[in-house]
A and B are shown apart, each in its own frame.
Chain A
Amino acid sequence: MKIAITGHTSGLGKYIYDACVKNKHDVVGFSLTSGHDIDNRDVCYDIIDQAKHMDMFINCAYGSVKDQYVKGANGQIELLKQILSAWGEDKSKFILHIGSKYMYRNPQKILPAKIYTLDKRHAHDIIQNSSSEAKVFNFIPGMFESSMSDMWPDVFTKSKMEHIGDTLCFYIENCKRIWPQEVVIDKTDLLHRPLEEVIKLGSTQ
């Protein structure tokens, strides 16, 4: 299977990329370190131009937290919109979008966290309302071990990245039989607490 993936040089994206290569898939990766800044809309067009000939698009990289109303849409959302459009009438294509359980939070006062929540919620809404014929799978993990989650206090219960990655690989390998619309992973038991409270808990540990 031909697979395109963003964020393939670090974290969960790297884990999936390596697993797909190991499983003999034809994989093409796009990441910041390989010269693909997904927050640049022209770069997104370039990625989609290459990815549209593939069988599966894994929208893993988030891009950067930024004020979308000032600087334009988040890169992951831009790629989601473009691939849904490119594959709008193709039932044979698979899209795996990496969401976040953070979208269930109430938007926080702290701006980066608020934007991240709204971005993930926005992507979820785009998927829910999409009329694309492509098969879209919104994977929504809770907190797991990654460079991104390192900034959060240890009061969160974090899943191991390899466990999350192995779960994703199960679905990728079985995509023609099993392709969910949505999966939510739940190992985080403090998600509904206000962020300020979580940070306070972490700082007292």
Chain B
Amino acid sequence: MNILMTDNKSVLGTALYNRLIDDGHDITVYDVDLNQPDDVLKQEIDFEKIELCLNNKYQPSDSDKPHGQIRLNAIFLDLWAESVLKYIINIVDKCAVDSHVYWEGSKDYRADQVMWNTIERKKSGEGSYPNHCVMYIDYDDDKASVYADIVSHMVKTCSNVWVSKIVLGSKR
């Protein structure tokens, strides 16, 4: 499978990259600046050839706009609108689905909730859409290989069983 990923330098990014390479996938890495996610469209990337976008880079937002991962997700939803054979996996911090009390006021909490709500609204409409997943994780370097195993399994089985939401990590 042709996969575009946005980070292969962090511990998790490295684990994901190595695992997907081992699985035989063709990987393109675009080290996105999440404060300028639209720049992805200016790159010499064959978006028709890419089948899966792994939106795995995390960086704190320095703007008042929606978080860069959300904007990147929206870019690919638009780019691949009506394409049922395209896949998007967003890896985001689990604070998005934890009890509000722990994260009230957190920009990330609000942003991640927006991501899930946006795709749910989109799906409620008519027509097709790319296969979309939000993977909620605890950012813990010790778990990088476990997360890589899960993504590997999800990609291997994606044409038969698509995981649209997965919540990992300990309950807070």
B contact residues around A178 at 8 Å (CB):
146, 149-150, 168
Beta-carbon contact of A181 and B167 below 8 Å: yes
A contact residues around B169 at 8 Å (CB):
181
**Residue in chain A with minimal CB distance to B169:** A181
Interface centre among A177, A186, A192 (most CB of B within 10 A): A186
Beta-carbon contact of B165 and A182 below 8 Å: yes
Interface string of A166-199 (1 = CB under 8 A from B): 1100100010011011111111010010000000
Interface assignment of B114: CB less than 8 Å from any CB of chain A: no
Can you report 16 A-B residue pairs in the complex whose CB atoms are below 8 A from each other? A159-B160, A163-B160, A164-B161, A167-B161, A178-B149, A178-B150, A180-B168, A182-B165, A182-B166, A183-B167, A184-B163, A184-B164, A184-B166, A185-B161, A185-B164, A186-B164
A183 with B166, Cβ < 8 A, contacts A177-B149, A178-B146 known: yes
Interface size class of B (residues with CB under 8 A): 20 to 34
Interface centre among B123, B131, B153, B171 (most CB of A within 10 A): B171
Interface assignment of B43: CB less than 8 Å from any CB of chain A: no
The 8 closest A-B pairs by CB, nearest first: A186-B164, A184-B165, A163-B160, A182-B167, A181-B167, A192-B124, A163-B161, A167-B161
Interface string of A129-170 (1 = CB under 8 A from B): 000000000000000000000000000000110011011001
Interface string of B110-141 (1 = CB under 8 A from A): 00000000000001100010010000000000
Cα–Cα distance between A177 and B163 once the two chains are bound (Å): 19
B contact residues around A166 at 8 Å (CB):
157, 161
Cα–Cα distance between A160 and B157 once the two chains are bound (Å): 12
User: Nearest Cβ in chain B — how far from A90, in angstroms?
Assistant: 15
A: residues with CB less than 8 A from B are 159-160, 163-164, 166-167, 170, 174, 177-178, 180-187, 189, 192
Interface centre among B149, B166, B169 (most CB of A within 10 A): B166
Cα–Cα distance between A177 and B169 once the two chains are bound (Å): 11
Beta-carbon contact of A192 and B165 below 8 Å: no
Beta-carbon contact of B167 and A180 below 8 Å: yes
User: Nearest Cβ in chain A — how far from B159, in angstroms?
Assistant: 9
A183 with B163, Cβ < 8 A, contacts A177-B146, A178-B146, A192-B124 known: yes
Interface assignment of B30: CB less than 8 Å from any CB of chain A: no
A contact residues around B131 at 8 Å (CB):
186
User: Nearest Cβ in chain A — how far from B132, in angstroms?
Assistant: 8
Beta-carbon contact of B168 and A187 below 8 Å: no
Interface centre among A167, A180, A192 (most CB of B within 10 A): A180
